[in-house]
């Protein structure tokens, strides 16, 4: 299934859920604390870890779903644009179009692992990441959060992490520092190592701390 088709199915499913009638017993439902908040859209970009690969229950434990539940009101539309083998170059061609379609107010980006794996030159990575952030800004995003690459991703991680910091500073994006987070990776069924559930919680916490800033 293409990312664009997945986006349309996600938005349609959300529309069906929100349009369903509560029935004659609706008076017994507890009040929605977010009923007066303005509807918003959260879109996340990333690779296989952002998809939740390697987790037993990705809808519960993957970091994007955690921040969606914990840091956003109930009337938020959530789109996970992540895909396997997502270098920044690939995100420009497959994930950025979803941002243009969804027009999210908030975008959370965690890329770099596949660039490091493929040894993408730092100059290329930096330039393409700057293009991506500029592109999501042009799509209307008010807040753009981009996470660095923690040490668990090997010796090259520090160089890509510095590049993410530089792009955040140059574009006004909000840098999410994952270096202090307790991120560990484990191999699952012979697939490349992915963060475990505890690591996803640590990643979500780092994003949530940044989201709480004014």
Q: Which of the pair, 186 or 165, is modelled with greater confidence?
A: 165
Q: 186: which residues sit within 8 A by CB, 6+ positions away?
A: 54, 193, 194, 196
Mean pLDDT of the chain: 86
pLDDT one-digit tens code per residue, 113-160: 999 999 999 999 999 999 999 999 999 999 999 999 999 999 999 999
CATH architecture of 37-211: 3-Layer(aba) Sandwich (3.40)
Average pLDDT (85-92) is: 97
Say yes or no to pLDDT of 192 above 90: no
CB burial of 157-170 (b: ≥16 within 10 Å; e: otherwise) equals beebbebbeebbee
* Of 43, 5, 35, the residue nearest 143 (C-alpha): 43
The interaxial angle of helices 63-71 and 197-211, nearest 10 deg, is 40
pLDDT one-digit tens code per residue, 118-129: 999 999 999 999
Q: What is the pTM of this model?
A: 0.82
């Amino acid at each position: 299934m293409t990312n664009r088709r997945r986006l349309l199915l996600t938005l349609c499913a959300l529309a069906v859920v929100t349009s369903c009638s509560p029935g004659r017993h609706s008076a017994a439902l507890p009040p929605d604390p977010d009923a007066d908040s303005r509807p918003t859209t959260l879109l996340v970009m990333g690779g296989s870890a952002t998809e939740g690969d390697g987790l037993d229950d990705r809808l519960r434990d993957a970091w994007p779903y955690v921040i969606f539940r914990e840091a956003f009101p109930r009337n938020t539309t959530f789109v996970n644009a992540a895909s396997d083998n997502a270098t920044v170059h690939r995100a420009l061609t497959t994930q950025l179009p979803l941002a243009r379609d969804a027009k999210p107010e908030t975008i959370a980006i965690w890329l770099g692992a596949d660039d490091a794996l493929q040894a993408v030159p730092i100059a290329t990575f930096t330039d393409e990441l700057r293009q991506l952030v500029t592109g999501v800004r042009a799509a209307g995003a008010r807040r753009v959060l981009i996470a660095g690459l923690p040490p668990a991703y090997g010796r090259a991680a520090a160089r890509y992490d510095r590049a993410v910091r530089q792009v955040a500073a140059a574009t006004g994006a909000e840098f999410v520092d994952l270096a202090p987070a307790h991120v560990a990776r484990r191999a699952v069924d012979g697939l490349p190592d992915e963060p475990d559930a505890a690591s996803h919680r640590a990643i979500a916490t780092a994003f949530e701390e940044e989201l709480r800033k004014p």
